[in-house]
Chains A and B, each alone.
Chain A
């Protein structure tokens, strides 16, 4: 049996085959080297992404509390359905079933998938928010059949009902595409819920919290085969506002049914105690997704429900401006010596300017001009001062500028001057315009917040605070000082002038004043009414005194007259007269006084063995234990009731420095 020829295959050829095989194996080893040694890290992270599914655990936003820790805004749990789309081929045939189970159309799901086709596949999509228990049960029951559906617990905002404090609190929504491009939104990603207005927007960083995540091991079919880790969500921090819920309720009730704004503030600190704007909206409707109809209704409503009128309405302040005029006049040495005879009007620069009392006020000095709100007196004062000096004091008192309140989108208002007119209208200032400015008409436009701050500064002898809804010292740990407000400014006001002006304001609510009907027995309120034209009187007459051109009523008042504790500003749109606005303001002041009385009773009962004495003046001395909000050194006039402990206290605090001082 012999196959083939005798000669053997040359060894050299076999050797060549050996080298060829060696070359092939070296090549394969190089392939392994390239993947495993050179590319190990890259492929390792790809493998990680392959097998680990990350489901976010959403952090609840921080609660919003009032100054006493009462909850204003809370959260409630709700479920959202997530769609995982790592396996599009396996997902596709299940879409009709998913659509049926979640009560949405299959087209919607396809649209959603198409819209987010560009996003990484391992990112789950929110397919439906706020699902019903039935839909939740559907997802749970079909876990093994449809592993692509997941649920996620979402903490939704629960706002007070009926738009209570809606403008103050604001609302939340999905971060917009535009926002995402801004540097301050660098750390946010698509779908994050952020504050869109009000406190929710201003203090978003504090309230938002940090989402956690659950990492699960999944196989190539998307089925979970093990749990890896769970990073719990860090809830947002609670935020304590300076708002006093009792006063907020009083203010909401006072303004109910009217349009306008109301603010209450502690003039000593700048703490906003209440802030209301009307009409309002219900932020709960924004929490899931607002319907197009509802949104359109909100933005086309002529009463502008989304506008926070307390800081965004820019209107003529009317006669309230006369207080600023008075300060300017006194400081310039004109007002204290001015005495005019009002016969219902006067002529300046060839034009007659009428007083609101057609019959005239007769002989008027500064005090009477304030409580009677005599226009002719202030026309005259404005003429003497000229726009330059008026603008100087008004600007010093913060008009025409933002107050710096910690709420978003504050308007700055307008305080006209010669330069302002040239800059904005390229026109010379007409001397006649100054006369209108004298009574808060013409080009002057203020926000209720600005006007209140200016009057608060006057009530505090020139100490001008920055209003705020969150006290910087009440910020959560790690945020104290983040939102530090600017230094308190001091506007120098002559103390005699300040006394005369505030005393005159104290008579506004007395029978001789412009708002006697707003008088609250036993509460010493100083204030100033105002009514401001929306259009000129002629235009209004042409439209048959149409209601939409009704004058705005203003009132800014504080109590007590000396060392005020609360100042309230009211803008009553279409309120016609300031005294109606004053009546709304006094409701809040009354609520405040009653609350203080309740607290007073408590503290009085805590000091059973004390007796009280009436004094007419107090020498106040500041020492290092006092905070900087305490009244400055000096004699304080007024009627004070001082509690003196019956037994000598062990400390050597003199009676006149007793801490419980209540003004009657």
Chain B
């Protein structure tokens, strides 16, 4: 294994597009933080430099992961899955609370660790393994329930933290997996009815007030322009202010004046849209679209169903992140605190994305095996 693999088979085109988006991300992190404490070298390494370090680390991880046969990952994923559940339970039991949510475990000597991020990856692999083993001509309710349980257990544990945004990222992998795995229309219909019945109850019982507020304000941001609707309002102004050609690098007043919340992380696309306008923003959308299409092509050429499922799981989660993050920035989605893959600043986000892409590379590099 691996001896007949070479980096000639590595998807350099995909890598090029990924690097292009990442570079734009670094540039925008720099521009957005130029006037803030984050860019102050006296206070430590500036964020855009840190992001470069994270990216370099991510690329390294991606290459390493691409060398390990994904079948090995699939083979041992139940251990990782079990460990994930234990970690999430540990968070619930004795996690570290910040911003009103219990999301972290303090690991002595390493700092805070957020298991829910890594569960995404484990879940993609676990679902790929399970769903690819199903008979796609004859999917039963039991199969669906089992797949649902694989995603559902971590989903409920994360929603308890509470972290609605992250828990929702677990669903797309499940949905795409079931779709590709051969779910029938009648199944879909029954599930939709069940969801329609459960959602109103969940709204009343399960959602925290701040989550409800966010959802309501997303629909009526003008109600509370200085409260939780503030972020949406400021984001809309930033994007709109960009106009067609944008205000130029470091020229966005919404971005530079700190009217935009968390500019270099969750709202980085708003900052980018303000400074580069409609032209720049749609160009970035196009880059993401090319990357996703390339991923789907890789899914198609995968040597087996499990490989296809793995890549499509990554596609599902990336699309979900892009939809929710950019949708939030343009006012089509509520504020959820989900970062934009490849562009938003943040070690966890970068590491997750490059690990996931490493798996994709892994699958692609084995397309001629067998």
A interface residues (Cβ-Cβ under 8 A, vs B): 1-9, 11, 13-14, 16-18, 21-22, 24-25, 27-29, 31-37, 39-40, 42-44, 46-48, 50-51, 87-89, 217-221, 225
Q: How far is the CB of A503 from chain B (nearest CB, A)?
A: 83
Report yes or no: A36 in contact with B277, Cβ–Cβ below 8 A.
yes
Report yes or no: B300 in contact with A44, Cβ–Cβ below 8 A.
no
Report yes or no: B132 in contact with A4, Cβ–Cβ below 8 A.
yes
18 contacts between A and B (CB under 8 A): A4-B129, A5-B135, A8-B304, A9-B309, A24-B323, A28-B330, A32-B282, A34-B330, A35-B239, A35-B273, A37-B278, A39-B240, A50-B234, A51-B253, A87-B226, A218-B257, A219-B35, A219-B259
Q: Which residues of B contact A33 (CB under 8 A)?
A: 278
Other than A5-B133, A35-B331, give 19 A-B pairs with Cβ distance below 8 A. A4-B129, A4-B132, A9-B299, A13-B179, A14-B300, A17-B312, A17-B315, A21-B289, A24-B319, A28-B322, A28-B326, A32-B278, A36-B242, A36-B281, A43-B240, A50-B237, A51-B253, A217-B253, A219-B259
Question: Is B71's beta carbon under 8 Å from chain A?
Answer: yes
Pair count A-B, CB < 8 A:
166
Question: Is B241's beta carbon under 8 Å from chain A?
Answer: yes
Q: How many angstroms between the C-alpha atoms of A40 and B240 in the bound complex? A: 5
A-B CB proximity, top 3 nearest: A43-B240, A4-B132, A31-B330
Q: Give the residue of A5, A36, A43 whose beta carbon is less than 8 angstroms from that of B244.
A: A36
Q: How far is the CB of A17 from chain B (nearest CB, A)?
A: 6
Q: How many angstroms between the C-alpha atoms of A50 and B237 in the bound complex? A: 9
Number of interface residues of B (CB under 8 A): 58
Question: Is B65's beta carbon under 8 Å from chain A?
Answer: no
Q: Which residues of A contact B18 (CB under 8 A)?
A: none
Q: How far is the CB of B168 from chain A (nearest CB, A)?
A: 15
Q: A13-B180, A43-B239 are in contact. Are A31 and B292 (CB under 8 A)?
A: no
Q: A14-B300, A225-B257 are in contact. Are A27 and B332 (CB under 8 A)?
A: yes
Q: Which residues of A contact B323 (CB under 8 A)?
A: 24, 28
Report yes or no: A4 in contact with B133, Cβ–Cβ below 8 A.
yes
Q: How many angstroms between the C-alpha atoms of A230 and B88 in the bound complex? A: 59
Of all chain B residues, the one with the shortest Cβ separation from A38 is B240
B215-243 interface bits toward A, Cβ cutoff 8 Å, 1 = contact, 0 = none: 00000000000100000001011111111
Q: A11-B300, A18-B293 are in contact. Are A29 and B257 (CB under 8 A)?
A: no
Q: A1-B75, A36-B277 are in contact. Are A50 and B253 (CB under 8 A)?
A: yes
Q: How many angstroms between the C-alpha atoms of A50 and B277 in the bound complex? A: 19
Q: How many angstroms between the C-alpha atoms of A11 and B133 in the bound complex? A: 18
Of all chain A residues, the one with the shortest Cβ separation from B227 is A89
Report yes or no: B257 in contact with A217, Cβ–Cβ below 8 A.
yes
Question: Is B16's beta carbon under 8 Å from chain A?
Answer: no
Of all chain B residues, the one with the shortest Cβ separation from A18 is B296
Report yes or no: B257 in contact with A50, Cβ–Cβ below 8 A.
yes
Q: How far is the CB of B296 from chain A (nearest CB, A)?
A: 6
Report yes or no: B273 in contact with A32, Cβ–Cβ below 8 A.
yes
Q: How far is the CB of B23 from chain A (nearest CB, A)?
A: 21
Question: Is B105's beta carbon under 8 Å from chain A?
Answer: no
Q: Which residues of A contact B188 (CB under 8 A)?
A: none
Q: How far is the CB of B173 from chain A (nearest CB, A)?
A: 12
Report yes or no: B305 in contact with A219, Cβ–Cβ below 8 A.
no
Question: Is B136's beta carbon under 8 Å from chain A?
Answer: yes
Q: How far is the CB of A144 from chain B (nearest CB, A)?
A: 15
Q: How many angstroms between the C-alpha atoms of A218 and B259 in the bound complex? A: 10
Q: Which residues of B contact A17 (CB under 8 A)?
A: 176, 179-180, 296, 312, 315
Q: How many angstroms between the C-alpha atoms of A44 and B239 in the bound complex? A: 9
Report yes or no: A36 in contact with B239, Cβ–Cβ below 8 A.
yes
Q: How many angstroms between the C-alpha atoms of A47 and B235 in the bound complex? A: 10
Q: How many angstroms between the C-alpha atoms of A549 and B35 in the bound complex? A: 79
Q: How far is the CB of A313 from chain B (nearest CB, A)?
A: 57
Q: Give the residue of B278, B305, B326 whose beta carbon is less than 8 angstroms from that of A5.
A: B305
Q: Which residues of B contact A50 (CB under 8 A)?
A: 234, 237, 253-254, 257, 259
Report yes or no: A220 in contact with B258, Cβ–Cβ below 8 A.
yes
Q: Give the residue of B35, B278, B315, B326 whose beta carbon is less than 8 angstroms from that of A36.
A: B278
Report yes or no: B278 in contact with A7, Cβ–Cβ below 8 A.
no
Q: How many angstroms between the C-alpha atoms of A5 and B136 in the bound complex? A: 9
Q: A3-B133, A18-B296, A40-B240 are in contact. Are A8 and B259 (CB under 8 A)?
A: no
Report yes or no: A7 in contact with B319, Cβ–Cβ below 8 A.
no
Q: A39-B240, A40-B243, A219-B257 are in contact. Are A3 and B331 (CB under 8 A)?
A: no
Q: How many angstroms between the C-alpha atoms of A588 and B276 in the bound complex? A: 78
B189-229 interface bits toward A, Cβ cutoff 8 Å, 1 = contact, 0 = none: 00000000000000000000000000000000000001000
Q: Which residues of B contact A3 (CB under 8 A)?
A: 71, 74-75, 129, 132-133, 304-306
Q: How many angstroms between the C-alpha atoms of A589 and B368 in the bound complex? A: 121
Q: How many angstroms between the C-alpha atoms of A6 and B303 in the bound complex? A: 10
B interface residues (Cβ-Cβ under 8 A, vs A): 35, 69, 71, 74-75, 129, 132-133, 135-136, 176, 179-180, 226, 234, 236-244, 253-254, 256-259, 273, 277-278, 281-282, 285, 288-289, 292-293, 296, 299-300, 304-306, 308-309, 312, 315, 319, 322-323, 326-327, 330-332
Q: A4-B132, A28-B330 are in contact. Are A9 and B308 (CB under 8 A)?
A: yes
Q: Give the residue of A1, A14, A25, A43 whose beta carbon is less than 8 angstroms from that of B288.
A: A25
Of all chain B residues, the one with the shortest Cβ separation from A34 is B330
Q: How many angstroms between the C-alpha atoms of A37 and B67 in the bound complex? A: 46
Q: How far is the CB of A31 from chain B (nearest CB, A)?
A: 3
Q: Give the residue of A1, A31, A44, A46 whose beta carbon is less than 8 angstroms from that of B243.
A: A44
Q: How far is the CB of A42 from chain B (nearest CB, A)?
A: 7
Give the residue among A4, A47, A89 with the most B Cβ atoms within 10 A.
Answer: A4
Q: How far is the CB of A162 from chain B (nearest CB, A)?
A: 51
Q: Which residues of A contact B319 (CB under 8 A)?
A: 21, 24
Q: How many angstroms between the C-alpha atoms of A114 and B312 in the bound complex? A: 56
Of all chain B residues, the one with the shortest Cβ separation from A43 is B240
Report yes or no: A89 in contact with B243, Cβ–Cβ below 8 A.
no
Report yes or no: B236 in contact with A4, Cβ–Cβ below 8 A.
no
Q: Which residues of A contact B300 (CB under 8 A)?
A: 11, 14
Q: Give the residue of A28, A51, A225 whose beta carbon is less than 8 angstroms from that of B327.
A: A28
Q: How many angstroms between the C-alpha atoms of A122 and B330 in the bound complex? A: 25
Of all chain A residues, the one with the shortest Cβ separation from B71 is A1
Report yes or no: A22 in contact with B240, Cβ–Cβ below 8 A.
no
Q: How many angstroms between the C-alpha atoms of A40 and B279 in the bound complex? A: 13
Q: Which residues of A contact B136 (CB under 8 A)?
A: 5, 7, 9
Report yes or no: A32 in contact with B239, Cβ–Cβ below 8 A.
yes
Q: Give the residue of A7, A21, A43 whose beta carbon is less than 8 angstroms from that of B237.
A: A43
Of all chain A residues, the one with the shortest Cβ separation from B245 is A36
Q: Which residues of B contact A24 (CB under 8 A)?
A: 319, 322-323
Q: Which residues of B contact A43 (CB under 8 A)?
A: 236-237, 239-241
Q: Which residues of A contact B133 (CB under 8 A)?
A: 3-5
Q: How far is the CB of B129 from chain A (nearest CB, A)?
A: 6
Of all chain B residues, the one with the shortest Cβ separation from A86 is B226
Q: Give the residue of B75, B179, B257, B277 whose beta carbon is less than 8 angstroms from that of A220.
A: B257
Q: Which residues of A contact B69 (CB under 8 A)?
A: 1
Report yes or no: A25 in contact with B289, Cβ–Cβ below 8 A.
yes
Q: How far is the CB of A121 from chain B (nearest CB, A)?
A: 8
Of all chain B residues, the one with the shortest Cβ separation from A28 is B326
Report yes or no: A4 in contact with B254, Cβ–Cβ below 8 A.
no
Q: Give the residue of B179, B253, B304 whose beta carbon is less than 8 angstroms from that of A47.
A: B253
Report yes or no: B238 in contact with A47, Cβ–Cβ below 8 A.
yes
Report yes or no: A42 in contact with B240, Cβ–Cβ below 8 A.
yes
Q: How many angstroms between the C-alpha atoms of A87 and B326 in the bound complex? A: 27
Q: Give the residue of B241, B258, B278, B309 whose beta carbon is less than 8 angstroms from that of A221.
A: B258
Q: How far is the CB of A661 from chain B (nearest CB, A)?
A: 74
Q: How many angstroms between the C-alpha atoms of A220 and B238 in the bound complex? A: 13
Of all chain A residues, the one with the shortest Cβ separation from B327 is A28
Q: How far is the CB of A373 from chain B (nearest CB, A)?
A: 78
Q: How many angstroms between the C-alpha atoms of A39 and B241 in the bound complex? A: 8
Give the residue among A25, A32, A33, A89 with the most B Cβ atoms within 10 A.
Answer: A32
Q: Which residues of B contact A16 (CB under 8 A)?
A: 179
Q: How far is the CB of A649 from chain B (nearest CB, A)?
A: 75
Give the residue among B243, B244, B319 with the most A Cβ atoms within 10 A.
Answer: B243
Q: How far is the CB of B150 from chain A (nearest CB, A)?
A: 15
Q: A43-B240, A220-B259 are in contact. Are A21 and B292 (CB under 8 A)?
A: yes
